[in-house]
Amino acid sequence: MSSDGDPDRAEISHGRRIFFIWLIVAGIVTPLVALFVTPYLPPGDASVQANNQQGINAILLVLVVPIILGCVVYVFYSFVLFRDRGDGRPDSPVLRGNRRVTVWWIIGTCLIVAFVVPYGTWQWMGPGVGSGSAQGPKPIATPPGETLEVQVIGQQWQFTYRYPSFGGIETQELVIPEDQYVELHVTSLDVNHSFWAVGLALKADAVNGADNVVFVSATRAGEFKIRCAELCGLWHGEMYQNDARVVPEAEFQTWIQQQTELNEGLLAYLPPYAHIYYPQPFYRGD
Ligand SMILES: [Cu+2]
């Protein structure tokens, strides 16, 4: 019996051909993606955390490209060879209960998961200081050395910032020094907001009564954007700041000095610095 007449053999030879086509295509495309696409992945390299996340995105992309190509090669192969030729014959060998395919499928997915889980856990909890996501009030991954504490207060509909090491002053603008670990304590005065500085790879829920800590070390001076990433009411869309700044240490000292002077008359009206605030019930409807 020829291989055409034996469905098992036909299956195997199609499988081999698909495998070799995939091997060639993936062998060419994957290195090209790794070389020319991954350097341009978000969120860039404006902070240690952004750099870290870009590395994670690069690895995941390089992992997924051969998988996607496997699907694409299979589909195109089927379009060409398994189309209905109108001669009444079955259009392809039936693939049902194929142990070899099943076993390789299970081994392949297990290997990927066995790599991704420890890798992700390491990136999250390892000494590389997490990946820029918020960790609640007691962070597991903490950065090396001294940190500058800055509080982010979400409120309808803006973010304000307090600097406890400078008398707890409150500012409208977020300015942080470059090359220094900043410990952001994110909270809210009212509804849920989400503090999102995409360029620095930071995202933290701002929740009333909660102190959500996230660390960042900006690698170069420049401006970055802040958005509220949680629908928080009528003017949610207005909760953005296009010119939050990373500045050199000396410039930061000058700026914080100016802010301290601006705060002189204001400090008496501010509540003492705390990690959470509750709105006072000035009025409660009956
Ligand atoms: Cu908001």
What residues have a C-beta under 5 A from ligand 1, the ion?
193, 228, 232, 239
Half-sphere exposure of 286 (CA within 13 A, CB side): 0
279-285: Cβ within 8 A, 24+ apart = 279/189, 279/190, 279/208
Give the total residue count for the chain: 286
Q: Are 143 and 129 in contact (CB under 8 A)?
A: yes
Tell me the two tokens of residue 42.
């978000």
- The pLDDT tens digits of the residues spanning 24-67 come to 999 999 999 999 999 999 888 899 888 888 888 999 999 999 99
- What CATH class does 148-269 carry? mainly beta
- Boundaries of CATH 2.60.40.420 in the chain? 148-269
Asked whether the bond before 157 is cis by omega within 30 degrees of 0, the reply is: yes
- The pLDDT tens digits of the residues spanning 246-282 come to 999 999 999 999 999 999 888 888 889 999 988 666 6
What is the distance in A from the centroid of ligand 1 to the CA of 185? Answer: 16
Rg of the chain on CA atoms, in Å: 27
What is the distance in A from the centroid of ligand 1 to the CA of 14? Answer: 55
What is the distance in A from the centroid of ligand 1 to the CA of 183? Answer: 21
CA distance 179 to 147: 11
Q: What does pTM read for this prediction? A: 0.79
What is the distance in A from the centroid of ligand 1 to the CA of 144? Answer: 31
What is the distance in A from the centroid of ligand 1 to the CA of 159? Answer: 8
What is the distance in A from the centroid of ligand 1 to the CA of 101? Answer: 49
**Residue 3: per-residue pLDDT:** 43
pLDDT by residue for the chain (286 residues), tens only, comes to 344 455 555 556 888 899 999 999 999 999 999 999 999 998 888 998 888 888 889 999 999 999 999 999 999 999 998 888 888 777 777 777 888 888 988 999 999 999 889 888 887 776 655 666 678 888 877 887 889 999 999 999 999 999 999 999 999 999 999 999 999 999 999 999 999 998 998 999 999 999 999 999 999 999 999 999 999 999 999 999 999 999 999 999 999 999 999 998 888 888 899 999 886 666 666 5
Residue 132 burial (10 A CB sphere; 0-12, 13-18, 19+) = buried
What is the distance in A from the centroid of ligand 1 to the CA of 241? Answer: 12
